[in-house]
């Protein structure tokens, strides 16, 4: 819980407070380090577990491999994966294979990842093809993304997330004909690209925002604060990355406007307004 909340120091306090740490406790702490890209620290903790004579299991290796994936430690990932069965007596499961595909894919070794999948002694699962598809988005490999999506849908025909991911890859690489064709396919099959939303909790109340949202009671103030933020960013030399825009927009000013209306930015602007209001009320009450 503390790791997911971003408080690794408190997570370690709890970890060290446990008198008899079993494999679940060690694996959870390693998972916490993985979440925060602390690959080297995860390796160190893995070996400390070995010194404590606690036998690892498949979950332990899944967490360690995730740490390597987020930290870009390809060779370390390969070494640990290859040692699982001969050294530690743990037979790799499908999640471990998916982690290795993720490690290779994130590092840009897409062809190596495909070769790894082809040599798997077990049937590749949806998570394996999903890991490859995610890597294709990072490195904008459309051809391989189409293959991975096709194999994924063979296993999970109702997996609309795979189509949405392929949709985003097409948009990211400016293949608008493919975007329109895939959108038509999704509409015919009844699938919809779910709109992303962001949230901000203030005084125990959760406020949700969609892109270009005007439904919040403080919308006028939120957009005013957002304009202020954008102006300060520009004055500091910030330039919007228009390649992140996953829709066809021709005019440059409209591209920038679309990027500025992301739900995350609206939530942040609302948070800043809320802090100001709470501070004002506190000062007024004093």
Total tally of structural domains belonging to the chain? 2
Answer yes or no: is 167 within a domain.
yes
Note whether 25 and 107 are same-domain residues. yes
- Check which CATH number belongs to the domain holding 21 and give it: 1.25.40.10
Rounded-to-integer distance, Cα 269 and Cα 223, Å: 8
pLDDT tens digits, 244-254: 444 444 444 43
CB 98 within 8 A of CB 129: no
CB 42 within 8 A of CB 63: yes
Note whether 115 and 205 are same-domain residues. no
Answer yes or no: is 93 within a domain.
yes
Note whether 158 and 224 are same-domain residues. no
Note whether 55 and 95 are same-domain residues. yes
List residues bridging with 206 in a β-sheet.
201
Give the pair of three-digit tokens for residue 23. 């494999």
Note whether 160 and 204 are same-domain residues. no
pLDDT tens-place values along the chain, 286 residues long: 999 888 999 999 999 999 999 999 999 999 999 889 888 898 899 989 888 889 999 999 999 999 888 888 899 999 999 999 999 999 999 999 999 999 999 999 999 999 999 999 999 999 999 999 999 999 999 999 999 999 999 999 888 888 888 988 998 888 888 888 888 887 777 666 566 788 888 888 899 988 777 888 988 998 898 889 888 888 888 666 544 444 444 444 434 444 456 788 888 889 888 886 554 444 444 4
Q: Which of 77, 49, 50, 48 is nearest to 65 (CA)?
A: 77
* DSSP one-letter code for 121: S
Give the pair of three-digit tokens for residue 158. 């109702």
Rounded-to-integer distance, Cα 253 and Cα 259, Å: 10
pLDDT tens digits, 186-215: 777 766 656 678 888 888 889 998 877 788
Domain boundary among 167, 188, 209: 188
Give the pair of three-digit tokens for residue 167. 């949709």
Domain around 21: 8-188
Note whether 150 and 221 are same-domain residues. no
Note whether 26 and 71 are same-domain residues. yes
Note whether 12 and 68 are same-domain residues. yes
Q: Which of 7, 15, 83, 78 is nearest to 48 (CA)?
A: 15
Note whether 157 and 278 are same-domain residues. no
Answer yes or no: is 223 within a domain.
yes
Note whether 150 and 16 are same-domain residues. yes
Note whether 151 and 75 are same-domain residues. yes
Domain boundary among 188, 223, 253: 188
Domain boundary among 161, 188, 215: 188
Answer yes or no: is 1 within a domain.
no
Rounded-to-integer distance, Cα 64 and Cα 57, Å: 11
> How much is the pLDDT for 245?
45
Answer yes or no: is 2 within a domain.
no
Answer yes or no: is 3 within a domain.
no
> How much is the pLDDT for 248?
41
Helix (H) or strand (E) holding 276: helix 263-285
Rounded-to-integer distance, Cα 171 and Cα 178, Å: 8
């Amino acid at each position: 819980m503390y790791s997911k909340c971003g408080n690794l120091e408190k997570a370690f306090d709890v970890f060290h407070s446990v008198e008899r740490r079993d494999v679940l406790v060690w694996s959870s702490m390693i998972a916490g380090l993985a979440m925060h890209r602390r690959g080297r620290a995860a390796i160190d903790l893995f070996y400390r577990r070995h010194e404590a004579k606690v036998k690892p299991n498949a979950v332990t290796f899944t967490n360690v491999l995730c740490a390597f994936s987020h930290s870009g430690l390809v060779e370390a990932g390969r070494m640990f994966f290859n040692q699982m069965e001969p050294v530690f007596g743990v037979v790799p499961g499908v999640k471990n294979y998916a982690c290795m595909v993720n490690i290779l894919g994130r590092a840009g070794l897409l062809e190596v990842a495909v070769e790894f999948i082809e040599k798997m002694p077990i049937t590749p699962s949806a998570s394996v093809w999903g890991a490859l598809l995610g890597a294709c988005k990072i490195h904008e490999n459309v051809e391989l993304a189409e293959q991975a999506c096709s194999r994924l849908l063979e296993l999970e025909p109702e997996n609309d997330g795979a189509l949405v991911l392929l949709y985003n890859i097409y948009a990211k690489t400016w293949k608008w004909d493919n975007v329109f064709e895939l959108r038509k396919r999704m509409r015919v099959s009844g699938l919809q690209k779910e709109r992303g939303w962001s949230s901000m909790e203030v005084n125990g109340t959760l406020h949700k925002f969609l892109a270009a949202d005007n439904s919040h009671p403080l919308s006028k103030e939120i957009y005013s604060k957002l304009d202020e933020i954008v102006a300060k960013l520009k004055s500091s030399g910030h330039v919007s990355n228009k390649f992140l825009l996953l829709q066809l927009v021709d005019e440059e000013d409209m591209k920038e406007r679309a990027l500025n209306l992301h739900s995350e930015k609206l939530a942040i602007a609302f948070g800043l307004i809320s802090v100001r209001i709470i501070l004002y009320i506190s000062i007024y009450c004093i």
